[in-house]
Amino acid sequence: DIPLVTLAGKAGTGKTLLSLAAGLAQTEDMQKYKKLLVARPVVPVGKDIGFLPGEKDEKLRPWMQPIFDNLEFLFNTKKPGELEQILAGMGSIQVEALTYIRGRSIPDQFIIIDEAQNLTKHEVKTILTRVG
C-alpha cells in the first residue's frame, strides 16, 4: 500500500485526470476504498466575483467544474445531466470544497486534493490529520 502520492507537472498535463482515473479504479473496480472524495480549495484566479446564488452545490459548481469536466471525459458523457445521473447512481463519489473538511474523519476513502499548491502548510496538515 502507498499511503500518499503527489503529482507535479505543468498545466494541462493530466494530473487531475490521472488522479480521478486511479481513484475510480480503486473505488469502483478494485473496491479497495468505500468512496472517492475529491476536494479543491476555493481560491479565485484574479478578482473574486463575490457571492453566488443558490444552495451549497450550486455555489460550488463553478469551483468544481474542472473536476466535473474530467469526470465527463472519463465517463464519456455527451448529454446534459448525464454525468449527474451516473454519479447519483454510483453514490461513491463526493466532490466538495476543502472549506468543509475541518472536523471530519475520513476513513476508508481514496482522497484527491486538486490544486494543492494553493494551500498553506497548516491546511495541508489539517487535511492529512483527517485521514484515518
CATH code, domain carrying 78: 3.40.50.300
Is residue 4 assigned to a domain? no
Q: Rounded to two decimals, what is the model's pTM?
A: 0.85
Give average pLDDT by consecutive 10-residue segment, the chain, 132 residues: 88 96 96 94 64 72 89 96 94 87 88 91 88 76
Is residue 5 assigned to a domain? no
Per-residue exposure over 54-85, b if at least 16 CB sit within 10 Å of its own CB, e if not: eeeeeebeebbeebbebbeeeeebeeeeebee
Is residue 10 assigned to a domain? no
Number of domains the chain is built from: 1
Tracing cell 472536523 back to the chain, one arrives at 103
Is residue 67 assigned to a domain? yes
Is residue 7 assigned to a domain? no
Write down the pLDDT at residue 101: 80
Is residue 58 assigned to a domain? yes
- Name the strand (E) or helix (H) holding 28: none
Is residue 8 assigned to a domain? no
Write down the pLDDT at residue 55: 75
- Name the strand (E) or helix (H) holding 36: strand 35-40
Write down the pLDDT at residue 37: 94
Domain that holds residue 86: 15-130
Write down the pLDDT at residue 128: 87
